[in-house]
Structure 1
């Protein structure tokens, strides 16, 4: 392969040995009016570039022409990554399908008394069996561990009557999926668990209804917040008027994060969420997560004891299409009824 392979396989004009970079780069910079570069990602290379530029400038009186414009490459690349081609969407669907199978396997395996790491192992076994890797550190939180947003220990033992939250996604051929499901380790939701799970599901449906071209990205989050706050008031976890609870962000006691993020080559993918200060409008080819949740601290004495220690998140991956959206992860049980049916199907 080497330098010749780089030119042939990647369509480059030229390729040089990396050991010669100090000698070659100043000559390549000379006479160019514009240089595209991603500043701030590699500080050492940033400093080298400044040094090479200085060498060209020192030769100005001998006729050298240093570049006079540097363009941030990241912004251009990020916009390209934000819009997925047909081939990229096909790979993302495969990553989603693998992730769906993995979550389904964990639901079917779950039993009271199992450790979090055993469920993690089942999820990641499915990933590897399909030639995929975890796109990020899998989160498996039973009981009140589900209330810890970036829980990583995955070493607690589940107890009968608890929920387990699994946030895990496969990376396949470079493209990530990102799914969260919350289910009862014994296969049956309690009434309190079901009430909060249904509310999170309603919030996700409200956000999904905003997932179409021409709608502001932020609209999904606002719809989820409204639905969650209405439900928290109805269930008695919040008190007072809807508008005031939203304006004062009282819901943040139970819902502390945004409703999603861009998805692609990274699980938290690049791309601007706002343009000229306003939430950008959704366009076909964008892929993002919709992941509302509710987290009630185990020691929150301001709410009825039946709610305490319940953490729930439901997360799916959504592609904007010309006429609306497609949920890439739609094959996985999402509602409480569907989750119970999935878990009952093969329980011994």
Structure 2
């Protein structure tokens, strides 16, 4: 493993920490699924970003001392011959400094005693407040131990700070090696969606489409799924996070597939919507073309310096105009937008950050205002329309149609780069591919 980029990430974080401060990042714990079965372990993204290491029960400590010097320390699981026979090899304390490029390593069993020594002289401790339920009980005995040294002139830390504010801003702007992983994850995800589109006309259930999708992910070199796939036939697509994926395919309906592959811990995230039969009905095609036009309008607003929310507003306007033209909404477009009448049919935003997490980290607003886009941010662009199956305010032929179109997009100086290129997107392209 090349640890150079991870050491560089640590160096940037240490530089951002004030003197006399420390940061602690945990890799996560294995979680029980049911008796004698664990969920597959997936390392905490912050920890991986700073170490390139993916074992559970590991902690990284970074110290920016008052004199300006910096130190990195890893707490890892000790080698255990019996445990390793059952659950796999461990890095161990002895190899950790060389493999991870840290100054020192200790067993997690030495946590309290070693941390009391290491935090002497530290005034602020930074941890992720998102993980506060883990950190408070873990740090309590350490701080209590530090207080025992007050008569020796030791001043315990006086403040806990949220590390997310610093580290997640760092993660938001992607580096070249991260972009390479994201492109790979995106193209593996494309292959899965193409396989799902070709499978749909010849299988009977949502689960069979999911199976074709996931098989293509792994055959193309994917490491894992980015999230639980959504394979939603007909009205199931109107449930935004539908994951049961067990219903029979409705041959007369659309099929919405929202899924992505993970490569080197970086996520792909695509939504395709297509007719299970391979042919759109007139109503399905009309609504689909509105959503596709909304995505094009949103993409036109993706470029450096444009406030983050601008692409969402562009999509909302096109969707609202389309809903009026098709008779699903009545009234003046500006008034309908101001009153948010469109939210009956479009109830989510037009995207999110993408990276090590499928809903990646980083603030969307700065000082109360939507932040401007910057080069090498990566986001999804995903407008949709969903007509509830029981919405008796619209004609019956519209009911139960759910459509979303989602691509992964990098902000570049000239505008945007679509990482998930290669998918058929127009109705004509989709029908040709599926045939």
**Length-normalised TM-score, structure 1:** 0.95
**Structure-2 residue corresponding to 1:79:** 169
**Runs ≥4 residues deviating over 4 A:** none
Measure, in 2, the Cα distance between the counterparts of 1:214 and 1:270. 19
Query: Does residue 139 of structure 1 match 2:230?
Result: yes
**Structure-2 residue corresponding to 1:19:** 109
Query: Does residue 274 of structure 1 match 2:362?
Result: no
1:145-160 mapped onto 2 (5 Å cutoff): 145-160=236-251
The partner residue of 1:30 within 110, 117, 120 is 120
Check conservation: 2:191, 2:220, Cα contact below 8 A: no
Measure, in 1, the Cα distance between the counterparts of 2:132 and 2:108. 16
Query: Does residue 110 of structure 1 match 2:181?
Result: no
- Residues 299-326 of structure 1 show CA distances to partners (whole Å, capped at 9, x for unaligned) of 1111111111111000000000122110
- Residues 66-93 of structure 1 show CA distances to partners (whole Å, capped at 9, x for unaligned) of 2334432222221121111111111111
Measure, in 1, the Cα distance between the counterparts of 2:214 and 2:138. 41
Return the offset for 1:163.
0.7
Q: Which one is further off, 71-80 or 94-103?
A: 71-80
**Structure-1 residue corresponding to 2:60:** none
Check conservation: 1:135, 1:171, Cα contact below 8 A: yes
Measure, in 2, the Cα distance between the counterparts of 1:190 and 1:201. 16
**Structure-1 residue corresponding to 2:276:** 185
**Structure-1 residue corresponding to 2:144:** 54
Measure, in 1, the Cα distance between the counterparts of 2:134 and 2:257. 39
Measure, in 2, the Cα distance between the counterparts of 1:40 and 1:99. 29
Measure, in 2, the Cα distance between the counterparts of 1:42 and 1:248. 38
Return the offset for 1:114.
1.6
The partner residue of 1:323 within 398, 401, 414 is 414
1:12–1:37 CA distance, 2 compared to 1 (3 A): same
Check conservation: 1:167, 1:181, Cα contact below 8 A: yes
The partner residue of 2:323 within 232, 238, 248 is 232
- Residues 242-301 of structure 1 show CA distances to partners (whole Å, capped at 9, x for unaligned) of 111111110000001111011110111111011111111100111010110000011111
Return the offset for 1:40.
4.4
**Length-normalised TM-score, structure 2:** 0.77
**Structure-2 residue corresponding to 1:283:** 374
Query: Does residue 206 of structure 1 match 2:311?
Result: no
Give the 3-state SS of the residue equivalent to 1:159 in structure 2.
coil
Check conservation: 1:39, 1:46, Cα contact below 8 A: no
Query: Does residue 164 of structure 1 match 2:249?
Result: no
Return the offset for 1:43.
2.2
Measure, in 2, the Cα distance between the counterparts of 1:332 and 1:16. 49
Measure, in 2, the Cα distance between the counterparts of 1:259 and 1:97. 21
Q: Which runs of 5+ in 2 are unaligned?
A: 1-90
Give the 3-state SS of the residue equivalent to 1:256 in structure 2.
coil
Check conservation: 1:113, 1:159, Cα contact below 8 A: no
Q: Which runs of 5+ in 1 are unaligned?
A: none
Greater relative contact order (Cα < 8 A, sep 6+): 1
Check conservation: 2:187, 2:421, Cα contact below 8 A: no
Return the offset for 1:204.
0.5
Q: Which one is further off, 53-62 or 274-283?
A: 53-62
Query: Does residue 98 of structure 1 match 2:188?
Result: yes
Return the offset for 1:201.
0.3
Return the offset for 1:112.
6.7
Query: Does residue 301 of structure 1 match 2:383?
Result: no
Measure, in 2, the Cα distance between the counterparts of 1:28 and 1:300. 62
Check conservation: 1:213, 1:322, Cα contact below 8 A: yes
Check conservation: 2:188, 2:221, Cα contact below 8 A: no
Check conservation: 1:112, 1:160, Cα contact below 8 A: no
Give the 3-state SS of the residue equivalent to 2:342 in structure 1.
helix
Measure, in 2, the Cα distance between the counterparts of 1:17 and 1:299. 58
Give the 3-state SS of the residue equivalent to 2:244 in structure 1.
coil
Return the offset for 1:109.
1.7
Give the 3-state SS of the residue equivalent to 2:231 in structure 1.
strand
